A = this chain, B = another copy of it.
Amino acid sequence: MAIIPITDPTDARLADYVNIRERDLVGRQGKFVAEGRVVLNVLFSSSRFEAYSLLVLDRKLPGIADIIQKLDDDFPVYVVPQSVLDAVAGFNVHRGLLAIGGRRTAEDADAALSALPENALVLCLVNIANHDNMGAIFRNAAAFGADAILLDKTCCDPLYRKAIRVSVGAALKVPFVHVEDELEMHMSLSRFGFTQLALSPSGALSLRQLNRTGRTALYLGTEGAGLPGELMAKMTTVRIDMRQDFDSLNVATASAIALHHLYG
A interface residues with partner B (beta carbon < 8 Å): 38, 136, 139-140, 142-145, 168, 170, 240-243, 246-250, 252-253, 256-257, 260, 263-264
Contacts and interface: CB of A to CB of B under 8 A. Distances in A.
14 contacts: A136-B250, A139-B250, A139-B253, A140-B249, A143-B243, A143-B248, A143-B249, A144-B243, A145-B243, A241-B263, A242-B263, A249-B256, A253-B253, A256-B257
Q: How many copies make up the complex? A: 2
Given A240-B260, A242-B263, A263-B242, A140 B247 contact: no
A253 B143 CA distance: 11
Given A136-B250, A250-B136, A142 B243 contact: yes
A140 B256 CA distance: 12
B144 A38 contact: no
A264 B244 CA distance: 12
A86 to B, nearest CB: 20
A117 B38 CA distance: 44
Given A249-B256, A253-B253, A242 B38 contact: no
A253 B142 contact: no
Contacts of A243: 142-145
